[in-house]
Amino acid sequence: MKSESPSLKNLVELLSYSKELGLGDVVLDGLTREEIMSSNIGEDIKSTGTAIDQGIDQNSPEPLIWSEAVSEMNYKSLEETANHCQKCALCEKRNRVVFSDGHVDARLMIVGEAPGAKEDEAGIPFVGQAGKFLDLLLASISLSRKNSVYICNVLKCRPPGNRNPLPDEIETCTPYLARQIALVAPEVILAVGTFAAQFLTGKKLPLGKLRGSTYSYKGVPLVVTYHPAALLRNSGWTRPTWEDFQLLRKIMD
Ligand code: SF4
């Protein structure tokens, strides 16, 4: 069941009382990235995914060498390399590389999908209304972006017009994410949005079917949930998102 876009205040109330509201599940397939973008409340929903450790173009030896080099970088080198990266065409129209926010020693790592317009301007993932709502969701389980979380995206540069990322863009950029996960070494990963969830689980299923379970990414517990931008658009996802955050808290405890 879809509903009209609620205000942030209403969503907080919905979250607080989600159990009593009895909102039904809504599968993410019902909402396209373009629909989210046109609502002006979210920046980075996409709907395709691939396995994180598939590697990059197997027909080209040069990217493989680069991928291996990335896999051995320390954090500072990794960030500096990403901030000057021109490995795919997304570098041409970006304003800022959006590498991460939060603490490198955080227990929780949140992986979104790709920068939107506001993130591209700020160079920080999850800003704007979706970012504020993510902060509220974190607060609901006694976590804060400032103190407890490391946040990044699958892609570090914004796809023009918020279009879906191309397969070669995904494959070229994913060594950064793989190395970020290895260096941060979180106790648990939260993938938000269909694209990030499919990417990290390696399963091309709708988010409504993926959520509710605990996965493993190279031995790290992985929980998936709806993207906060999509949640702002569809209050029916409040209850399952609440449950996903409770699952996350349970794993961390
Ligand atoms: S999206 Fe990733 S691979 Fe492409 S230019 Fe940006 S950092 Fe490099």
**Structural domain total, the chain:** 1
Contact 206, 198 (CB under 8 A): no
Question: For residues 119 and 111, what is the distance between their CA atoms, to the nearest angstrom?
Answer: 14
Structural domain boundaries enclosing 90? 8-18+25-252
Interval between CA 118 and ligand 1 midpoint (Å): 17
Residue 1 within any structural domain of the chain: no
Structure tokens that stand for 209 in this block: 């079917």
Tell me the percentage of the chain whose pLDDT exceeds 90: 55
Q: Exposed (0-12), middle (13-18) or buried (19+): which is 19, by Cβ within 10 Å?
A: exposed
Residue 91 within any structural domain of the chain: yes
pLDDT band for 199, please (50, 70, 90 cuts).
confident
Residue 2 within any structural domain of the chain: no
Residue 50 within any structural domain of the chain: yes
Interval between CA 99 and ligand 1 midpoint (Å): 10
Q: Looking at ligand 1, which atom is closest to the CA of residue 169? A: 4
Interval between CA 86 and ligand 1 midpoint (Å): 6
pLDDT over 50 (residue 17): no
Interval between CA 157 and ligand 1 midpoint (Å): 6
- The chain-wide mean pLDDT, for the chain, equals 79
pTM of the model: 0.78
Exposed e or buried b per residue across 157-167, where buried means at least 16 C-beta atoms within 10 angstroms of its C-beta: bbbeebebbee
pLDDT over 90 (residue 162): no
* 68-75 mean pLDDT: 93
Tell me the one-letter amino acid at 21.
L
Residue 105 within any structural domain of the chain: yes
Which residues' Cβ are closer than 6 Å to ligand 1? Answer: 82, 85-88, 90-91, 97, 155-157, 169, 172-173
pLDDT over 90 (residue 229): no
pLDDT over 80 (residue 171): yes
Mutate to test the pocket of ligand 1, among 96, 172, 174, 195 (most ligand atoms within 8 A of CB): 172
pLDDT band for 109, please (50, 70, 90 cuts).
very high
pLDDT over 90 (residue 114): yes
Contacts of 15 (CB under 8 A, 6+ apart): 136, 137, 140, 238, 241, 242
* 123-135 mean pLDDT: 91
E-strand stretches of 86-242: 101-102, 108-112, 149-153, 188-192, 214-217, 220-225
pLDDT over 80 (residue 1): no
More confident residue, 148 or 48: 148
Residue 64 within any structural domain of the chain: yes
Q: Exposed (0-12), middle (13-18) or buried (19+): which is 136, by Cβ within 10 Å?
A: middle
Q: Looking at ligand 1, which atom is closest to the CA of residue 172? A: 3
Question: For residues 146 and 63, what is the distance between their CA atoms, to the nearest angstrom?
Answer: 35
Interval between CA 87 and ligand 1 midpoint (Å): 6
pLDDT over 70 (residue 97): yes
Instruction: Assign residue 29 the CATH number of its domain.
Output: 3.40.470.10
